[in-house]
């Protein structure tokens, strides 16, 4: 097989202003021009190494970060059409239906390509797939940045559900339709977790994952079992509180409670939601474009 050329080095390079200079021969150097964003990012940070390819440059940097002692927790619930995060004080629900429409549009565009040459189709599919990935990642970066900034302001730890193995629920032969399986198998749940984890580590914010069991079926106020209703798919009924509760808001609150229980008592279990909290959170619903203003 043919391996693409690349160079990894941690010796002999220098950064002078907007130029990355590294030696290739005796007294012969190659200069790479850096853009304004990279120059600003690495201005007060130690650069460890770099990796260069014919089309890209990756720089490895190091910075000493002070860990923030969490005073509360922020639970994140990921869904196809929204990302809900918060705790018993405030819940923010970000509408992500736009990302689902982007994937459906690109799927439709690919289905209309009828070129017989598979080489041309492969190039077109790769181009469309890259464009789709970039558009999805851009919106996930906005959401993850807002989560980290909000958590930093609240001095809160970030809690995610451990969703490993969830793809096994949507395999072929499970009695589900092709469209439904395609939506769930193209769900970018891990990308949001990946972006949030490294951004939280960069800011010194605590990050952990908990067992997702019972996060959507227990009332976060009284701890009772919630009942489903076919007519109200996203709402669950609490017989003790006599109130309808949003499934995603309930999950975010219970995830936050489980994380709080873990930080307060690391040796204890986290299988149940915290009971007896009588506060009803303030719920904000925003689009991705307005997500950056919620923490201000």
Q: Which domain holds residue 17?
A: 7-62
Q: What is the mean pLDDT of the chain?
A: 86
Residues 140 and 249 in one domain: yes
Residues 90 and 12 in one domain: no
Residues 142 and 285 in one domain: yes
Q: Is residue 250 part of a domain?
A: yes
Residues 76 and 39 in one domain: no
Q: Is residue 235 part of a domain?
A: yes
List the beta bridge partners of residue 181: none
CA distance 271 to 264: 15
CA distance 39 to 20: 10
Residues 254 and 202 in one domain: yes
CATH of the domain at 164: 3.30.420
Structure tokens that stand for 89 in this block: 């004080």
Q: Is residue 106 part of a domain?
A: no
Q: Is residue 236 part of a domain?
A: yes
Q: Is 277 exposed, middle or buried (0-12, 13-18, 19+ CB in 10 A)?
A: middle
pLDDT of amino acid 95: 93
pLDDT of amino acid 158: 95
Residues 253 and 191 in one domain: yes
> Which has more pLDDT, 64 or 233?
64
What digits encode the pLDDT tens for the residues 266-281? 544 444 444 545 567 8
Q: E strands within 163-252?
A: 207-210, 226-228, 235-238, 243-246
Residues 210 and 90 in one domain: yes
Buried b (16+ CB within 10 A) or exposed e, 37-59: eeeeebeeeeeeebebeeeeeeb
Residues 165 and 46 in one domain: no
Count structural domains, the chain: 2
CA distance 121 to 132: 16
pLDDT band at 190 (very low <50, low <70, confident <90, very high): very high
**Residue 215 clears pLDDT 60, i.e. is over it:** yes
- Which residue's structure tokens are 């904000």? 284
CA distance 254 to 11: 49
Q: How many CA atoms, within 13 angstroms, populate the side-chain half-sphere of residue 3?
A: 3
pLDDT of amino acid 271: 42
pLDDT of amino acid 293: 66
Q: Is residue 122 part of a domain?
A: no
Residues 93 and 42 in one domain: no
Q: Is residue 244 part of a domain?
A: yes
Q: Write down which residue in 39, 62, 85 finishes a domain.
A: 62
Residues 49 and 162 in one domain: no
Q: Is residue 109 part of a domain?
A: no
Residues 243 and 190 in one domain: yes
Q: Is residue 37 part of a domain?
A: yes
- Which residue's structure tokens are 């690109």? 106
What digits encode the pLDDT tens for the residues 101-137? 999 999 899 888 887 888 888 999 999 999 999 999 9
Residues 153 and 78 in one domain: yes
Highest mean pLDDT among 138-142, 163-167, 221-225: 138-142
């Amino acid at each position: 097989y043919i391996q693409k050329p690349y160079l990894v080095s941690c010796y002999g390079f220098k950064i002078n202003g907007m130029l990355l200079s590294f030696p290739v021969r005796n007294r012969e150097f190659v200069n790479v021009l850096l853009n304004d964003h990279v120059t600003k990012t690495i201005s007060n940070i130690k650069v460890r190494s770099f990796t260069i390819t014919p089309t890209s440059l990756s720089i490895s940097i190091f910075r000493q970060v002070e860990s923030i002692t969490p005073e509360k927790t922020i639970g994140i619930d990921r869904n196809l059409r929204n990302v809900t995060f918060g705790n018993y004080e405030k819940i923010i629900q970000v509408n992500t239906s736009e990302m689902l429409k982007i994937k459906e549009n690109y799927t439709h565009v690919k289905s209309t390509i009828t070129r017989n040459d598979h080489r041309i189709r492969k190039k077109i599919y790769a181009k469309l797939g890259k464009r789709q990935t970039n558009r999805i990642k851009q919106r996930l970066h906005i959401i993850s940045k807002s989560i980290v900034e909000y958590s930093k302001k609240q001095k809160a730890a970030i809690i995610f559900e451990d969703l490993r193995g969830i793809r096994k629920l949507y395999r072929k032969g499970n009695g589900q339709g092709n469209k439904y399986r395609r939506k769930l198998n193209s769900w970018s749940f891990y990308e949001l977790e990946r972006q949030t984890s490294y951004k939280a580590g960069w800011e010194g914010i605590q990050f952990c994952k908990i067992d997702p069991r019972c996060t959507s079926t227990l009332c976060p106020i009284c701890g009772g079992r919630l009942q489903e209703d076919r007519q109200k798919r996203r709402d669950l009924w609490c017989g003790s509180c006599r109130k309808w509760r949003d499934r995603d808001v309930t999950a975010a609150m219970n995830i936050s409670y489980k994380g709080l229980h873990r930080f307060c008592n690391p040796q204890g279990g986290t299988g149940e939601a915290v009971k007896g909290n009588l506060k009803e959170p303030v719920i904000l619903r925003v689009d991705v474009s307005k997500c950056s203003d919620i923490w201000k």
